[in-house]
Structure 1
């Protein structure tokens, strides 16, 4: 096989608010931690054990602005993207590494308000493409309904 694949799909809860960073050229990035859980039963003790993994999520430009506007700590979200490892010099002179998920697509699954109220999410999940389409599309008045049986 000659091709390669770098793809990550996660469903988790935001661990903090989206932190925005703006650049001189007009671009921006948003960063937030995402928690995913693995739960299993310990065979020796019989008790349920939950392990939480934290992922560094990075979204860019319009997607970052959408995430900042609609997401908050505790919200459940699906993200899809690719792994990217960055390297930099720490203040102590040591080389540091950070692995991030560079988001290419996302879907809001619940909001904090829905999670606290115990409601199920609406039938229209919010994706980056859906939000951009809603913003660009003019509002149309509903037409008369047909009496068709299908």
Structure 2
């Protein structure tokens, strides 16, 4: 069996990086996914779904370094749902997403991470893929994620 989920949303908190007892880096953060729902009376209501995201190893280090609260991201991974009772006894659920691929969306000025040099790229990191330059979009193909990132020089690439 196989499952994969893709979400696009904004970070609700700054990433928190820690290490397992064996020294493996793990970073956690929350992501809010907003959608608009048209009600029967014709009005539009915005609904927000929160995901708790966990990234491991090199992806954890990259997320911790370049992400900050408010930054827009696209995340692919596996999701687990946990049911629990809140302190007041009401039933609740939690969506836990283990990230396999994180793409940083928006420009550098959208939500700069504190302490990150202005040369930090707006781009993507895939834990399973080798590090390489991003492929240019096909000529004339529309981009759904905004303008392409600015041209980078070797000294600006953090890898």
Same fold (TM over 0.5): yes
Q: CA deviation at 1:6?
A: 1.5
| Aligned mate of 2:109, from 101, 109, 113 | 113
Deviations 1:32-66 (A, max 9, x none): 1110011023231x322000000010000111110
* TM-score, normalisation: structure 1: 0.65
* TM-score for the superposition, normalised by structure 2: 0.62
Specify the alignment match of 1:7 in structure 2.
4
**The structure with more helix, counted as a fraction of residues:** 1
Structure 2 regions of 5+ residues with no counterpart?
85-91, 113-120, 133-153
Which whole-Å CA distance do the structure 2 matches of 1:31 and 1:49 have between them? 29
Cross-structure match for 2:88? none
Q: What is aligned with 1:143?
A: none
Root mean square deviation of aligned Cα: 3.4
May I ask how many residue pairs the two structures share in their alignment?
120
SS of the residue corresponding to residue 62 of structure 2 reads: helix
Q: How does 1:66-77 map to 2 (within 5 A)?
A: 66-77=62-73
Secondary structure of the residue aligned to 1:77 is: strand
Larger Rg: 1
Q: Secondary structure at the match of 2:21?
A: coil
**2:20 counterpart of 1:23:** yes
